[in-house]
Amino acid sequence: MDSKYEPLANNEGDELRGPRRRRKQKKRDERNARKWEDLKQFVWNAKTRHFLGRDPLSWGLVVLFFVAFYVCVLTLLLICMLIFSLVLDEIGPTMQGLTTPLQEIPGMSFRPAPDFETTLIRFIQGKPSTYKPFTDHIQGFLDQYENEKQVGENFIDCKLGRPPGNDGKVCRFHVDDLGGMCTWQRDFGYDEGQPCVILKLNKIFGWSPETYTDGNSTDIPDSLRPRFDPDYIGVTCEGLHSLDNENIGNISYNPPEGFSRFFYPYLNQEGYRSPLVMIQFLNPINGIVINVVCKAWAKNITPRHHINDQLGVITFSILVD
């Protein structure tokens, strides 16, 4: 009996909900219309002539403030730049010596170092994919030393010494001085398990080496004496520990004498190239990490030789698999 009246009750509910929905929709439309009118009034109020809530005078003051602010900032910047231009030297650093990060003794660096997070040179003999990053890095570094990039009036030949009256010019470094065994045609020795490594002294403005004049000086090691030349900063490499010395084998140096003193001092000359020394490990023991320490020898370098300071010293490791 009750089920007969249920559809009627539902129809009556639908009839009551219909007007309610229309009233809610009307209120919603009115709210949206008011919001839109408020937004238009905020952007531009024709009655008060306000734009974004401000009259022309207020906007003028805001613009004037920011113009004055940025003019003051720009003026201070120009004053600072003027002071720096008067105080700083365009060619060399104003502060030099041990009290600055630019120490009086140059550090030494090596190539290849494609990954500067490690000093390990590891590769598999006869497997190009393992040593190609190292050989590519060496070749890329030597590109700046190609003969065509050392041409011009600013370059001079210093093989027989620096000619007088050419202090402002730079010495031309000949890649041929690095020897015939360490070339890209020979994969810099990596394919044969005889890796080549480039050594260089870091540039320090105004620094000049005080080379040893006597090859019998007790300050230089015995391994350097056969290659000693008073016009060069000598270079030696050996194992860091006694066990490393047993595994490192023989080492060749090119140029044998070391770094020519005629390339110094570095005075920020245009086209300056640091002198290089190429070392080659001729018969290192395979499968063992060999820690290597290389040192530069001059009167104003040797007293500060210390691995921690890395002044005139460089350490790295090789592993030939």
Digit-coded pLDDT (tens) for 105-119: 888 999 999 888 899
pLDDT of amino acid 97: 65
Peptide bond into 93 cis (omega under 30): no
Q: Which of 216, 230, 224, 239 is nearest to 293 (CA)?
A: 239
Q: Which two tokens stand for residue 204?
A: 């320090």
Which H/E stretch holds residue 66? helix 56-87
Q: Which of 238, 266, 262, 261 is nearest to 250 (CA)?
A: 238
Residue 236 — φ and ψ, nearest 5°?
A: -135, 150
Q: How far apart are CA 282 and CA 285, in angstroms?
A: 10
Which H/E stretch holds residue 120? strand 120-123
Digit-coded pLDDT (tens) for 16-69: 566 777 777 777 777 777 778 777 777 777 777 777 777 788 888 889 999 999
Q: How far apart are CA 167 and CA 267, in angstroms?
A: 9
Q: How far apart are CA 3 and CA 19, in angstroms?
A: 27
Residue 10 — φ and ψ, nearest 5°?
A: -65, -40
Q: Which of 313, 246, 312 is nearest to 284 (CA)?
A: 246
Neighbouring C-alpha atoms within 13 Å toward the C-beta of 215: 12
Strand order in the sheet with 196-201: 108-111, 196-201, 276-281, 251-254
pLDDT of amino acid 30: 73
Q: How far apart are CA 251 and CA 227, in angstroms?
A: 13
Percent of the chain with pLDDT over 90: 55
List, for the chain, all residue ranges whose pLDDT scores fall below the cut of 70: 1-18, 96-103, 304
> Buried b / exposed e across 98-119, counting CB within 10 Å, b at 16+?
eeeebbbbbbbebbbbeeeeee
pLDDT of amino acid 54: 76
Q: Taking the model in full, what pTM does it have?
A: 0.75
pLDDT of amino acid 10: 53
Q: Which of 245, 247, 207, 225 is nearest to 297 (CA)?
A: 225
